[in-house]
Structure 1
Amino acid sequence: MAHSPRTPGIVSNRLDSETLAANFTDLHPPLDRHEAHVAADRCYFCHDAPCMEACPTSIDIPLFIRQIATDTPLAAAKTILEQNILGGMCARVCPTETLCEEVCVRETAEGKPVLIGQLQRYATDAAMAHGPQPFKRAAPTGKQVAVVGAGPAGLSCAHRLAMHGHSVVIYEAREKPGGLNEYGIASYKTVEGFAQKEVDWLLGIGGIEILYDHKLGSDVTLEVLTDKYDAVFLGIGKAGVHGLEAFDLEGVRPAVDFIADLRQAEDLATLPVGRNVVVIGGGMTAVDAAVQAKALGAENVTIAYRRDRGAMPASTFEQDLAAARGVKLVFNANPVSVSGNGAVESVTFEYTTQEGGTLKGTGEEFTLSADQVFLAIGQALDGAPDALARDGSALAADATMQTSHPKVWAGGDCTTQGEDLTVTAVAQGRDAAEAIHLHLTA
């Protein structure tokens, strides 16, 4: 086992390749044709379907499930993709248990919803396996739009603009497209390089160019973009990471960086992981980091969240998944300090309680051994132009996703509208593209 002399507990090659492969298999293996038909047959095809209301992209769920039931999966895929061009990824990573499936009539009546997410994957996988996407680019309009960020919001916006015949240039800060789909989601949720395959398939519509290693603020400015292009869309996400004061010892790092390293690793065995890992936070990023640390061979992995279980942002499904994979969840635990001689050796927490909605410390502390600590306490807007109005810590945007600048729209995590989910970002990118199209053709 290879390790750093300052952090001897963080080593690579904890598990053999066969065990690693088994640990990182597909979280939800795809349905075969028979399984898809059985699942589709459970749908009531509700007229006023609550699942449609719960879907941020408003997919006609009863229609696409009926199309699967009638053995026309390509038609089902088109129904999905007309509303959500990244429907394949969303089928894999959407918290359907708190969205469409939570309000499914079958869930209400029987406690077992229709497998909407897995049926969506069945249809979209069939479409991608079939070949070209079912959408064509309209005749070129002569208008050019700059999209900043090749994440879900930017890609969704670019594709819809291309459908309308506009030319799009995407400015992407990293060396690969996909945003959080590529860098920030657990590997066991999107296996076999699916994120990149979906982007390649999306770009098949034509009229979209991506310029990599172009970061807003340092490599290109908003002023230059608004002068050069007819409109601009910002899908810059939240590149900043919240930290904790005095948590600057070696072995402490953002959870998103750990996940990004894992997603880009060619050999999982080379990734170093601690023996005792502590993840601070309560969202899906915390769960993804913890479960994958355990899958890499960490012996003891703990998620510590400062509030109670009911307040934890990660869904009950995600919490149960972590527990089933051997992760310990500790609630009402607020981080106080880390200890160690250069490298982290332990984390001290204070137990908390809530009084009238206010979180308070109890004065009682406990300590966890840790040679590796991942911080998953939220991300922040980073690199956004100062000229644009803010809504709190994010960019202000109206119902059409237009910002305070008349030529600039924004969507995804960099705005305050909706939850920080892939599906929400896709919806906002799509809607912004429609607003930009109306602006350019008025």
Structure 2
Amino acid sequence: MPADMLAQGIQTGRLSAEQYDANFADLHAPLDDHEALVAADRCYFCHDAPCMTACPTDIDIPLFIRQIATGTSDAAAKTILTQNILGGMCARVCPTETLCEEVCVREVAEGKPVLIGQLQRYATDGLMAKGVHPFVRAETTGKRVAVVGAGPAGLACAHRLAMLGHDVTLHDARAKAGGLNEYGIAAYKSTDEFAAKEVDWLLQIGGIVMNQGVGLGSDVSLAQLKSDFDAVFLGMGLGGVNGLGLDGDDKDGITDAVDFIAELRQANDLGAMPIGRDVVVIGGGMTAVDAAVQAKLLGALNVTLVYRRSRARMNASVYEQDLAASKGVRIITNASPKAVHGNGAVREVEFEYTDDDLKPTGQTVRLTADQVFRAIGQTLQGEGLPDLEGRKIKVSGTGATSVKGIWAGGDCASGGDDLTVTAVAEGRDAAMDIHSNLMGGAS
């Protein structure tokens, strides 16, 4: 480790191996058979279920819960996976507390929803553990589709296209597939290499060729893909990270939260992960919370998450905010970064308090920091892309871009809400539109 990092308090091995294991254990233990039956029995199986309306992938939630209740959990898994092929991961990371469970009739009446997310995990994990893939690839159509990005949108699109009989080549710039599922979420939300196992299981459909280490722009051009394939789907996410825009933003000890999370997710030894004594995380979304909580779990003494607006306007859900607080993370709101102080390495970050319209109040606060994580949003990278809307690729409701034969979905595309479950829905729906166009053109 560089001497300057040691000098400023960033250290490895702050905890014992037993403490690391306990801190990064599965956030929610899976339901056993009895617990699943008890949880399923609480469902009213509503005919006009509000939970279905709230699910971005339109899973028939009452049906799959009834199937669990009647002892046919494999059928429940197929009900889920028909709509959401990454149902196992979504059961772990989807903010069910603000989607299906928030509108559950039990939640509205009693303040305690049916455990929809945990029941979804119970069903999908059970089927995957058997090595069973419930879908069969259709006869080949002879059509070739390129998918860029092996994250949730790209994987969902590739699977649906392959299932429909198309030959798919999936390009991804990283060494491992999975996108944010593999590199971008807290380690305690997806343990035991589940993201990689889910990708391997998904590929059992056949008809998908994986090209790892192939980035759009650096290794292959969009023009080349459009020429070589019958259709192209862009699901590469957002590769760039916003900076603070302050003098001193490049001081030692300041890094991007997404890089920290990715490094931690790939670490074989958590004790080798360097972490500061006084950590400041700047941002208010899920990435900020994941970075802050994991900094605390790695042994940081003081972790402070600072967001420029109010808690009510944080992108992270109330549940995630409360989780952070329960782990000892201090949350400061209505404070915007103003200056970074330190001689070569960060020593303090100065913030100015604001109102909710970001108007400065003139009051400032300095936070001691030997490590700072930026989590203030990511940006689209790439040249020669289809028309943009704001800072993302402009798409129709089915993912079609301004360029004929090119679709897009997930975080790189306009619309949506930057959730794994939304990306899956967009990839799936784009695949259906691609299929319709390809087969219509062939007839």
Q: TM-score range by the shorter chain?
A: over 0.9
The match for 1:359 is 358
Q: Secondary structure at the match of 2:34?
A: helix
Q: Secondary structure at the match of 1:289?
A: helix
The number of residues matched between the two structures is: 437
Residue 352 (structure 1) shift: 1.0
The match for 2:351 is 349
Q: Secondary structure at the match of 2:243?
A: coil
Letter in 1 for 2:185: I
Instruction: Kindly indicate whether the alpha-carbon contact (under 8 Å) linking 2:276 and 2:371 is maintained by their aligned counterparts in 1.
Output: yes
Counterpart pick for 1:340 among 339, 342, 345:
342
Q: Secondary structure at the match of 1:266?
A: coil
Instruction: Kindly indicate whether the alpha-carbon contact (under 8 Å) linking 1:4 and 1:11 is maintained by their aligned counterparts in 2.
Output: no
Q: Give the Cα separation in 1 of the matches to 2:412 and 2:263.
A: 23
Letter in 1 for 2:429: D
The match for 2:375 is 376
Instruction: Kindly indicate whether the alpha-carbon contact (under 8 Å) linking 1:182 and 1:263 is maintained by their aligned counterparts in 2.
Output: yes
1:118-129 equivalences in 2 (<5 Å): 118-129=118-129
The match for 1:110 is 110
Residue 119 (structure 1) shift: 0.3
Post-superposition Cα deviations, 1:64-86, rounded to whole Å, max 9, x if no partner, equal: 00000001110000000000000
The unaligned stretches of length 5 or more in structure 2 are none
Q: Give the Cα separation in 2 of the matches to 1:205 and 1:226.
A: 24
1:290-301 equivalences in 2 (<5 Å): 290-301=292-303
The match for 1:423 is 421
| Displacement over 3 Å in runs of 4+ | none
Post-superposition Cα deviations, 1:184-206, rounded to whole Å, max 9, x if no partner, equal: 00000000000000000000111
Letter in 2 for 1:365: T
Post-superposition Cα deviations, 1:401-424, rounded to whole Å, max 9, x if no partner, equal: 010111100000001121000000
The match for 1:438 is 436
1:108-257 equivalences in 2 (<5 Å): 108-245=108-245, 246=247, 247-257=249-259
Q: Give the Cα separation in 2 of the matches to 1:313 and 1:88.
A: 23
Counterpart pick for 2:305 among 299, 303, 308:
303
C-alpha distance 109-335 of structure 1, shift in aligned 2 (>3 A): same
Q: Give the Cα separation in 2 of the matches to 1:65 and 1:189.
A: 23
Q: Give the Cα separation in 1 of the matches to 2:169 and 2:294.
A: 35
Residue 106 (structure 1) shift: 0.5
Instruction: Kindly indicate whether the alpha-carbon contact (under 8 Å) linking 1:214 and 1:220 is maintained by their aligned counterparts in 2.
Output: yes
Q: Give the Cα separation in 2 of the matches to 1:105 and 1:211.
A: 45
CA RMSD of the aligned region, Å? 0.9
Instruction: Kindly indicate whether the alpha-carbon contact (under 8 Å) linking 1:332 and 1:353 is maintained by their aligned counterparts in 2.
Output: yes
C-alpha distance 6-292 of structure 1, shift in aligned 2 (>3 A): closer
Letter in 2 for 1:80: I
Letter in 2 for 1:214: V
Counterpart pick for 1:401 among 375, 384, 399:
399
Letter in 2 for 1:426: V
Aligned-residue sequence identity (percent) comes to 66
The match for 1:322 is 324
Residue 5 (structure 1) shift: 2.6
Q: Secondary structure at the match of 2:176?
A: coil
Q: Give the Cα separation in 1 of the matches to 2:115 and 2:385.
A: 45
Q: Give the Cα separation in 2 of the matches to 1:112 and 1:132.
A: 33
The unaligned stretches of length 5 or more in structure 1 are none
